Amino acid sequence: MRITRGDGLIDRDQLAELAGVSPDAVTLWSTRGYMSRDGKTRYWLPVAKREGRHPLYEVTEGQKAEWHTRVRGRRATPRDLQQVA
């Protein structure tokens, strides 16, 4: 995937492809939020900018959301599971 915008922002579909989740999961991270790995804090995926009705996200914020939800989303590797325990 190539980021073509000069400001480095990506749309929902690009973030979903990068994180390996569905576009609906990205929307839920932004509207409902997601729990941290320890389950004590709720975070929301911030919308960096909007172009009309289309939200744009920062790549690093999307990767943080994916990292926090990896174990609950069953996308974890054995190394991730060792870090949680």
Is residue 65 within 8 Å of 19, Cβ to Cβ?
A: yes
Taking the C-alpha atoms of residue 70 and residue 50, their distance in angstroms, rounded to an integer, is: 27
Each residue of 24-58: pLDDT tens digit?
999 999 999 988 888 889 999 999 989 888 999 99
Please count the CA atoms within 13 angstroms of the CA of 69 that sit on its side-chain side: 22
Taking the C-alpha atoms of residue 14 and residue 11, their distance in angstroms, rounded to an integer, is: 5
User: What secondary structure letter does DSSP report for 76?
Assistant: -
Each residue of 49-81: pLDDT tens digit?
898 889 999 999 999 998 888 866 566 666 665
Is residue 14 within 8 Å of 65, Cβ to Cβ?
A: no
